[in-house]
Amino acid sequence: MLFMIERNVSIPILFVLIVSMIAIFLIALLIHILNSRNKANKAYRELKKHHEWLEGTVLSIGEAIIATDEKGIVTFSNYEAQKLFSLSEKQFLNKNFDDLLDLLRDQDGKNRNITLDIVLNKGSKFEFEGLSIIVSKDGKEYYVSGSITPVWGEMGDIVGTVSAIKDITELKRNEKKIYNMEYFDSITGLPNKMLFIDRLNIALANARRNGTKLAVILLDLDNFKTINDTLGHAFGDRILMQIAEKIKELLREADTVARFGGDEFIILQPALKDITDITRVADRILENFRTPWILEGREYYITASMGIAVYPNDGQDEGTLVKNADIAMYRAKDKGKNNYELFMESMNRKIIDKLNLENALRHAIGKEEFVLYYQPQVDIASGEIISVEALIRWNRKGVGLVQPLEFIPIAEESGLIIPLGEWVLKNACRQNVNWINSGFKPLTMAVNLSAKQFQQRDLVEMIERILYDTGMEPTLLELEITESTAMQDIDFTVDVLRKLREKGIRISLDDFGTGYSSLNYLKILPLDTLKIDKSFIHDIASNTNEEAIAKSVIGIAHKMNLMVVAEGVETNEQLEFLKDHMCDKVQGYLLSKPLPSDQLEKILKKNNEQMF
Q: Containing H/E element for 565?
A: strand 563-567
Is 510 a residue that touches Mg ion (CB under 5 A)? yes
Nearest residue (CB) to ligand C2E, 132 versus 508: 508
Binding mask 362-381 for ligand C2E (x = CB under 6 A): -------------x------
Given ligand C2E, Mg ion, none, residue 116, with its beta carbon under 5 to 8 Å by kind, binds none
**Burial label, 421 (beta-carbon count in 10 A; 0-12, 13-18, 19+):** buried
- For residue 166, what are the CA distances in angstroms to 114, 160, 264, 302, 354? 18, 20, 44, 52, 60
Is 510 a residue that touches ligand C2E (CB under 6 A)? yes
Q: Strands, DSSP E only, in 88-177?
A: 104-106, 126-135, 141-152, 158-167
Nearest residue (CB) to ligand C2E, 66 versus 411: 411
Binding mask 591-610 for ligand C2E (x = CB under 6 A): ---x----------------
Alpha carbon of residue 427 to chain centroid: 35
- Residue 435 Cβ, how far from Mg ion at the closest point, in Å? 20
In sign, the C-alpha dihedral spanning 182, 184, 185, 187 is negative
Query: Which residues are CB-contacts of 440 (< 8 A; sequence separation ≥ 6)?
Result: 601, 604, 607
Helices in 123-192 by DSSP H: which ranges? 169-183
Is 341 a residue that touches Mg ion (CB under 5 A)? no
**Coil/strand/helix, residue 442:** coil
Partnered with residue 174 across adjacent β-strands are none
Among 35, 60, 206, 403, binds ligand C2E (CB under 6 A): 403
Contact 157, 123 (CB under 8 A): no
Is 361 a residue that touches ligand C2E (CB under 6 A)? no
Nearest residue (CB) to Mg ion, 164 versus 600: 600
Nearest residue (CB) to Mg ion, 308 versus 392: 392
Strand bridging mode 370-379 / 585-587: antiparallel
- For residue 204, what are the CA distances in angstroms to 207, 272, 322, 493? 5, 12, 12, 34
Nearest residue (CB) to ligand C2E, 186 versus 434: 434
Give how many residues touch ligand C2E by CB under 6 A: 23
- Residue 386 Cβ, how far from ligand C2E at the closest point, in Å? 16
Restricting to residues 425-484, which ones interact with Mg ion according to CB under 5 A?
448, 480
In angstroms, the CA 49 to CA 42 distance is 10
In angstroms, the CA 452 to CA 459 distance is 10
Among 123, 383, 404, 474, binds ligand C2E (CB under 6 A): 404
- Residue 441 Cβ, how far from Mg ion at the closest point, in Å? 22
| Stretch near ligand C2E under the rule CB under 6 A, chosen from 133-141, 251-259, 317-325, 401-409 | 401-409
Is 220 a residue that touches Mg ion (CB under 5 A)? no
- Residue 515 Cβ, how far from Mg ion at the closest point, in Å? 11
Is 424 a residue that touches ligand C2E (CB under 6 A)? yes
- Residue 400 Cβ, how far from ligand C2E at the closest point, in Å? 15
Contact 106, 87 (CB under 8 A): no
- Residue 408 Cβ, how far from ligand C2E at the closest point, in Å? 5
Nearest residue (CB) to ligand C2E, 72 versus 594: 594
Binding mask 466-505 for ligand C2E (x = CB under 6 A): --------------x-------------------------
Instruction: Look up residue 114 and give its DSSP letter.
Output: -
In sign, the C-alpha dihedral spanning 456, 459, 461, 462 is positive
In angstroms, the CA 200 to CA 485 distance is 36
In angstroms, the CA 443 to CA 377 distance is 10
Instruction: Look up residue 26 and give its DSSP letter.
Output: H
- Residue 511 Cβ, how far from Mg ion at the closest point, in Å? 4
Is 584 a residue that touches Mg ion (CB under 5 A)? no
| Stretch near ligand C2E under the rule CB under 6 A, chosen from 37-45, 270-278, 294-302, 403-411 | 403-411
Nearest residue (CB) to Mg ion, 220 versus 511: 511
Binding site for Mg ion (CB under 5 A): 448, 480, 510-511
Residues that bind ligand C2E in the complex, under the rule CB under 6 A: 375, 391-392, 403-405, 408, 421, 424, 448, 450, 480, 510-511, 534, 567-570, 587-589, 594
